[in-house]
Structure 1
Amino acid sequence: MAEPSPKPYLTVRGSGSRELEIRKSRFICHLARVADEDEAQAFVAGVRKRYWDARHNCTAFVVGGEQPRERSSDDGEPAGTAGVPMLEVLRRRGVTDTAAVVTRYFGGIKLGAGGLVRAYGAAVSEALDGVGLLERRPVALLSVAVDHTRAGRLENELRAAGYAVAGLEYLADGVRIEVGVPEPATARFQAWLAEATGGSAAARPAGRTFVEVEV
């Protein structure tokens, strides 16, 4: 039985941070794209080490696709007022493979439970808006073998036609171009390739990969 194709998912474009000031407290949200729980924990540890003098470094992350793993921590804030609202923002925005740490420097004015929930949620939401999201879409990976004299032109034609060039490998006898193609469109791609190269290049299945599209 064929393995089912993975589904598209949203994640952050990369690492970044945004800062809010709420009633004299500073809330700095740090975001990163992470591949698994180990990477998420390493990112959290790095932020906590850098901001060791902060009152709190609260965390939330979501990793994985079909059955995501989620973790959150209030790091000394009243239970449920920091990590959980941070995690809820990640869930509501539908992002995964994403870790968030909100560093708080206390400004001397207590916010109350409701104020903390709003502040930590807002910090993550604004950071997501600032860093930006992209969709990772699963595609079939096809390997196209072509000679050196044709490779540059074919690469340009592939990009112009909207195909995702996933990699180039220069070999002694030619160039291997890896192309990401939506699985339902592989037959159409084979026909396009035959026409574009006069039948001189062929594509072979090379697994699956993801292409990234900004949203």
Structure 2
Amino acid sequence: MSDLGDESTFEDTFFTVRRSSEGLYKDRSSKFFYFSFPVKNEEEIKTHLAELRKKYYDARHHCFAWALGKDADQFRANDDGEPNHSAGDPILGQIRSNNLTNILIVVVRYFGGTKLGMGGLIQAYKTSAALAIEANEIIEERVKISVSIQFPYPVMNDVMKLIKIHDLQILSQEMTLGCEMKLEFRKGLEELIISSLEEIKDLELTVI
């Protein structure tokens, strides 16, 4: 069986935040409630935005930015009524400057009666986003691959040996007339793991 090699050479990692965070930043009577969330898809983003709009229904602005994908190649910034590029872009800028992805940052503003001006708005939203990240914890995650395998009982030992050697995660398993498992592992091991599984006699494999 092939050697695992140096895992530090795998280009399948990215940085995100561990949990949700929130706080309050004030500038000249305006209140900026900031939030950050780890997210995996746009559905999760929509859910968080809807919950905040319901909770802070009387706020004037719900500005946000998000990024998805290992290389943060999916992203969006929204000013929600603030002057163009004064809110969403500064928030997105903080996401990028921290090399984060799979993250949503929302800043909810209650206007305090004093206009901040373009520069003041940019600084307020930039600071709020930075504080949302600071209040959280940045972690390194790995892009994962999932496969489904079906195999007869006689090769169970070969499968379990492979799972143990490479510390594969068993997502589910079902033992009926034959055996079926769903496994998960880091993308950097994809070629090695799939080729090793395919060497096991009578095993059928499907990438999920």
TM-score range relative to shorter protein:
0.5 to 0.7
Structure 1 contact 74–82 (Cα < 8 Å) conserved: yes
RMSD of aligned residue pairs (Cα, Å):
4.0
CA 138–62 in structure 1, closer or farther in 2 if over 3 Å, else same: closer
Partner SS state of residue 21, structure 1: strand
* In structure 1, distance between residues paired with 2:184 and 2:68: 27
Write out per-residue CA displacement over residues 100-135 of structure 1, whole angstroms, 9 at most, x where no aligned residue: 110011111110001100100110101101112111
Structure 1 contact 19–29 (Cα < 8 Å) conserved: yes
1:150 aligned residue: none
Moved more, 61-70 or 47-56: 61-70
Aligned pairs for 1:74-85 (under 5 A) are 74-85=79-90
Amino acid at match of 1:66: D
Residue ranges of structure 2 left out of the alignment (5+ in a row): 1-9, 147-163, 176-182, 194-206
CA 109–43 in structure 1, closer or farther in 2 if over 3 Å, else same: same
1:54 to 51, 55, 59: 59
Cα deviation for residue 72 of structure 1 reads 1.3
Aligned pairs for 1:132-171 (under 5 A) are 132-138=137-143
CA 10–67 in structure 1, closer or farther in 2 if over 3 Å, else same: closer
Cα deviation for residue 13 of structure 1 reads 1.0
2:94 to 69, 77, 89: 89
Structure 2 contact 72–101 (Cα < 8 Å) conserved: no
Aligned pairs for 1:128-207 (under 5 A) are 128-138=133-143
Matched, 1:29 2:34: yes
Cα deviation for residue 6 of structure 1 reads 5.7
* In structure 1, distance between residues paired with 2:184 and 2:76: 36
Cα deviation for residue 66 of structure 1 reads 3.5
Matched, 1:112 2:81: no
Structure 1 contact 36–63 (Cα < 8 Å) conserved: yes
Give the TM-score, by structure 1 length: 0.64
Partner SS state of residue 86, structure 2: coil
The number of residue pairs the alignment matches comes to: 188
Residue ranges of structure 1 left out of the alignment (5+ in a row): 142-157, 172-177, 187-206, 208-215
Partner SS state of residue 77, structure 1: coil
Partner SS state of residue 107, structure 1: coil
